[in-house]
Structure 1
Amino acid sequence: MLAPERRNRIMHILNQHKQLLVKDVSLELGVSEGTLRNDLKILEEDGLLERTHGGAVLPKPPTQEYTFHSRSQVNQTEKMMIGKAAANFVQNGQCIILDASSTSLELAKHLVQYDYLTVVTNGLATAQELTRNPHISVIVVGGVLRPGSSSLEGLLGKGLLSQIHADILFTSARGFTVAEGLTDFSVYEAELKKTIVSNVSKVVALLDHTKLNRRSIATFAEMSQIDTLITDPGANPEFLKQLKGVEVVIADSL
């Protein structure tokens, strides 16, 4: 079992039982207790759990439910800047793919004046924003709608996406490091994005500075597969210097 799949299983167990013991889960997954403790350490660093003596528990819930709306309010100014800068990469007549992130939604707001675009997305809010322009053809990728979410999740759209050869994928991520590339919490979402990355001509990552040098469970794009990173002025210059072969765009102030 690969590490990303194993960590996803750990989170599934934890979400079911609210707590876990290292000795029990190591037997269930067929790995050593040392390996499992290392997984728990990584998951704790990503804020997904809290380690306890001999196990782990779910982190204390935030005071506000972490819905799409609440996520969109985090670093909102930076996301607006990044979305505006990303629109400069779009040309009339292209087929582009936008993920369901709040940063891609900011990009969508700058596309309403474009003509003859085809946009593929699994973001409901993004799709609704784009329908304001009758010259944009919007294709919504199917999936499961979770409570409090604005995205259609799962692998139901994988067959459709494997047949679409888009010009650009605009995507956010839970984290981005030199070693792991673009990472996401959901293994299923990562698998879906892997399919997209393998078929598009260009990958543009839309990441505010808090996503940089941070990792999550599953990689969906290696650094060599990323063409452009658009970030904000808060990005660490030392980290950006490590991104060999990646075009880096610092979004201007609004």
Structure 2
Amino acid sequence: MSMFVEERQNLILEDLQENGKVLVKDLSTRFGVTPDLIRKDLAFLESKGKCKKIYGGAILKRLNVHLEDANSRKNVNSKEKQKIAQMAYDLIEPNMTVFLDISTTNIELAKLLVLSPISDITVVTNMLDVIQILSTSQIHSIFIGGEFDYARNGFVGNMCDEFLQRFHFDLAFLGVVGIDLESKSVMTYMPNDGQTKRIVLKQSKKSYMLADSDKFYQIGNYEYAKMNEFYGILQTIKSNKK
């Protein structure tokens, strides 16, 4: 019996790692045990620092860590991001429909658009920070909702994807977690974010990667595209000179 308990808890942890969240009622049905027994499993996993219990279930504890990282990432390589944002801004022309992905570089691009609006453009985004900046201007902005991703501070998932499939973008600026030059892979953290990015790729005439220099030395968990699926890459290269 103890082996079964351990096995069940390991499967619950796998669920958490894949989806970020579990519900007591779903786990109770899946394993054919009482909700109270599942709550004990979640309490045990929480005591081991693996998850955080919430009403009706639990979330992966790493989400809270990623949330802190999301805030701190805004100030990482900020000068590089500003330069890349300027490159993106220079590509936008009047009357275009532009998608701004979940990316801290797109925060800088949104700031440029507010300071110097381009006539008659429509900006679509699924990132909370971006829409908050655009809301201070008269730019025609559309916010895509769905399942909130705490790590990225934006929205992903089926509802978001379904809405995005109705759009056609002139330009899309997509964030990346890492780029593997050997395999030509473009990566992000989670499959749901990657799926949303793939839909934007398909719905855009031209899609650009936004990649500060660190992206070439990092690797993500999920490959969402190959490099040749993009129209181009907007990047900076760090100088070794001091």
Measured against the shorter chain, the TM-score band is 0.5 to 0.7
CA contact (8 A) 1:120 1:140 kept: yes
Over 3 Å counting, the alpha-carbon distance change for 1:14 and 1:225 in structure 2 is: closer
Checking the alignment, whether the CA contact within 8 Å between 1:181 and 1:221 is kept in structure 2 is yes
Q: Compute the TM-score of the two structures, normalised by the length of structure 1.
A: 0.65
Q: 1:181 — aligned with what?
A: 185
- Match of 1:193, SS state, is helix
Q: Pick closer, same or farther for the CA change 1:13–1:200 going to 2, 3 Å.
A: closer
Alpha-carbon offset, residue 175 of structure 1: 0.6
Moved more, 206-215 or 157-166: 206-215
- CA distance 1:183–1:124, shift in 2 (3 Å): same
- Quote how far apart the aligned CAs of 1:67 are: 4.0
Give the counterpart of 2:17 among 7, 12, 15. 12
Alignment of 1:108 with 2:113, yes or no, is no
Per-residue deviation, 1:144? 2.6
Find the residue that maps to 2:219 and give its secondary structure.
Answer: coil
Q: Using the TM superposition, give the Cα deviation of residue 176 of structure 1 relative to its aligned residue in structure 2, in angstroms.
A: 1.2
Partner of residue 6, structure 1 = none
Q: 1:157 aligns with which of 157, 160, 175?
A: 160
- Give the Cα separation in 2 of the matches to 1:147 and 1:173: 17
1:241 matched to which residue of 2?
A: none
Task: Answer yes or no: is the 8 Å Cα contact 1:87–1:110 preserved in 2.
Answer: yes
From 224, 232, 237, the equivalent of 1:233 is 237
**Which of 106, 120, 125 lines up with 2:124 in the alignment?**
120
Task: Give the CA deviation at 1:160.
Answer: 1.1
After superposition, what is the alpha-carbon deviation per residue over 1:89-138, rounded to whole angstroms, capped at 9, x for unaligned? 1011100100121111111111122121111111111012112221x221
Matched residue of 1:157: which SS? helix
Note the 1:35-114 alignment, pairs <5 A. Answer: 66-112=68-114, 113-114=117-118
Q: Does 1:210 align with 2:210?
A: no
| Structure 2 length-normalised TM | 0.68
Structure 1 pair 213/146, CA: closer, same or farther in 2 (3 Å)?
closer
Q: How many residues align?
A: 185
- The separation in 2 between residues aligned to 1:214 and 1:98, in whole angstroms, is 22
Which of 219, 222, 225 lines up with 2:226 in the alignment? 222
> Structure 2 CA distance, aligned partners of 1:77 and 1:155?
34
Q: 1:90 to 1:78 in 2, by over 3 A?
A: same
**CA deviations over 1:189-246 (Å, ceiling 9, x no partner):** 101111110111111111100001532122222111111111113189xxxxxxxxxx
Over the residues paired in the alignment, what is the CA RMSD in angstroms?
2.9
Alpha carbons of structure 1 residues 197 and 146: separation in structure 2 relative to 1, 3 Å: closer
Q: Kindly indicate whether the alpha-carbon contact (under 8 Å) linking 1:80 and 1:103 is maintained by their aligned counterparts in 2.
A: yes
Provide closer, same or farther for how the CA distance between residues 190 and 131 of structure 1 changes in structure 2, counting only shifts above 3 A: same
The structure that is helix-richer by fraction is: 2
Q: Identify the range of structure 1 (164-173 vs 147-156) with the bigger mean alpha-carbon deviation.
A: 147-156
Given that 2:67 and 2:152 are in contact with CA atoms closer than 8 Å, whether structure 1 keeps it comes out as no
- Which ranges in structure 1 are unaligned for 5 or more consecutive residues? 1-8, 17-57, 237-254
Give the SS at the match of 1:201. Answer: strand
**Letter matched to residue 100 of structure 1:** I
Give the whole-Å Cα distance in 1 for the aligned partners of 2:98 and 2:208: 11
Give a deviation string over 1:46-105, Cα, whole Å, max 9, x none: xxxxxxxxxxxx99x98x962432110111111111112210010111001001211111
Contact 1:180 1:215 in 2 (8 A): no
Question: What's the counterpart of residue 143 of structure 2?
Answer: 140
Instruction: Provide the identity percentage.
Output: 24
